[in-house]
Amino acid sequence: MSDTLMVIKQLDVSFQTREGLVQAVDGATLELKHGRIFGLIGETGSGKSVLGLSLVRLLPAHASVSGSLLYKGKDLLQLSPKEMRQIRGREIALIPQNPASSLNPVMTLGSQLREAIRAYAGRTGSKRLNAQAAGLLHAMNMPDAEQQLRRYPFQLSGGMKQRVLAAMGLAGSPSLLIADEPTKGLDALIRVQVTEMLANMARRTGAALLLITHDLDVARVLCDEVGVMYAGQIIEQGPAKELFAQPMHPYTRGLIASMPSRGMIPIAGTAPSLTDRPAGCKFYDRCGSAMPRCEAEQPDLYKSAHTEITNKETEPIDGTAKGQQAAAKHKARCFLYA
């Protein structure tokens, strides 16, 4: 299909540490499409940020990565570091997680933005550079963009720093943008602003957006498709609206029930350690509907039984047949659907 930008197949990432082998990502398979937002949700330590970093090959050297990352037909894992540098930032950009520590504290925003633009666009006059930098900030709804260029990161609030980082990410007009927790630590009103800005960006430029978040509301409202990660695996995947309306996996159901707006009913227990993951289903110890086979056997991704019905019920969004083709893909790694 022509709108597919990147296909990630059976991606495994592990780290050798003193405590043992940490399997951070286990068999992740997903597709990123032009103009679409794929949300990766999950809790701290579920492997979502590692997955994001592995797409731009920014993992530490001791990480071992296997599987394939087909970007426009090329496997990124086979590229040389030099070839990868041509793609990183220019074609695939990453908005890092921590706005406070991702900007250089002793450089003005302007010089940091100009540096990013120059890296991708080559030499240009300083006036043009400044105008472009201001334009990027302006596109992020930053008030007084020109004045902001002379300021330092410490003079900005968290939400503003987040927008500067997003602007830097967009400097190379990438076709895939990976945003790692863009709304973390932001308050309600800014959360709405930042998310809308990212969604508009994807729709306007036709870039694909991989949104890594633990903010379930943001994922539901913003994303076209969502993958839920738990202990390194994508345990459920499907169209956002359907996944939140009819979650399949017991973990997803528990996660949704623990949201403040859904009554905050906690899931018992804690996530397994990544060095010592259970052999069967990773959610086995905490699951209310566990069966004997779940302990030893690893479930595959099974399709939803409701797919046929929901197929007709889901109205196509944005006038495309997305509702239909996407609904067919709602699946979960759970024997309940085997």
Partner 1 sequence: MLEIIELHKRYRSNWLTGRGHQAVEPATFHIAEGESLGLVGESGSGKSTLARLLLKLISADGGRILYKGTDISGYSLKQMRPLRRELQIMFQHPHSALNPRRTLLDSLLEPVLLHRIMNKAAAREKALALLDVVGIRAELLPRYPHQISGGQIQRIVIARALMLEPKFLVLDEPTSMLDVSVQAQVTQLLQRIRKEFGLTYLFISHDLELVRHMCDRIGVMKEGRIVELDESERIMERPQHPYTKQLVNAFQAFKQ
Report the candidate in 70, 94, 55 with the shortest Cα–Cα distance to residue 6. Answer: 70
Residue 1 as a binder of partner 1 (CB under 8 A): the answer is no
Measured CA distances, 206 to 179, 184, 257 (Å): 16, 25, 34
Can you tell me which of 24, 129, 210, 216 binds partner 1, judged by CB under 8 A? 216
Question: Which residue stretches of 56-171 are H helix?
Answer: 81-87, 99-102, 109-121, 126-139, 145-148, 158-170
3-state secondary structure of 155: helix
Output 3 or 187, the one with its CB closest to partner 1.
187
Shortest spacing between CB 268 and partner 1, in angstroms = 9
Residue 100 as a binder of partner 1 (CB under 8 A): the answer is no
Residue 254 as a binder of partner 1 (CB under 8 A): the answer is yes
Can you tell me which of 260, 288, 292, 319 binds partner 1, judged by CB under 8 A? 260
E-assigned strands of the chain?
4-17, 20-33, 37-42, 63-71, 74-75, 92-95, 176-180, 208-213, 225-230, 233-239, 302-303, 331-332
Residue 143 as a binder of partner 1 (CB under 8 A): the answer is no
Can you tell me which of 8, 32, 218, 281 binds partner 1, judged by CB under 8 A? 218
The region of 52-60, 86-94, 96-104, 259-267 touching partner 1 under the rule CB under 8 A is 259-267
Output 91 or 236, the one with its CB closest to partner 1.
236
Can you tell me which of 35, 67, 135, 158 binds partner 1, judged by CB under 8 A? 158
301 CB contacts (<8 Å, ≥6 apart)? 234, 237, 331, 332, 333
- Chain residues 8-67 in contact with partner 1, contact rule CB under 8 A: 43-44
Question: Which residue stretches of 187-264 are H helix?
Answer: 188-205, 216-222, 240-245, 250-257
Shortest spacing between CB 35 and partner 1, in angstroms = 22
Token pair 């994303």: residue? 223
Output 2 or 44, the one with its CB closest to partner 1.
44
Residue 301 as a binder of partner 1 (CB under 8 A): the answer is no
How many residues are given for the chain?
338
Output 214 or 330, the one with its CB closest to partner 1.
214
CB neighbours of residue 257 within 10 Å: 14
Residue 249 as a binder of partner 1 (CB under 8 A): the answer is no
Shortest spacing between CB 308 and partner 1, in angstroms = 26
Residue 316 as a binder of partner 1 (CB under 8 A): the answer is no
Output 98 or 205, the one with its CB closest to partner 1.
98
Shortest spacing between CB 55 and partner 1, in angstroms = 23
Q: Are strands 37-42 and 225-230 parallel, antiparallel or unpaired?
A: parallel
- Distance (Å, rounded) from C-alpha 243 to C-alpha 323? 12
- Distance (Å, rounded) from C-alpha 13 to C-alpha 68? 11
177 in Cβ contact with 5 (< 8 Å): no
Residues that bind partner 1 (CB under 8 A): 43-44, 155, 157-159, 185, 187-192, 214, 216-218, 220-221, 254-255, 257-261, 264-267, 270
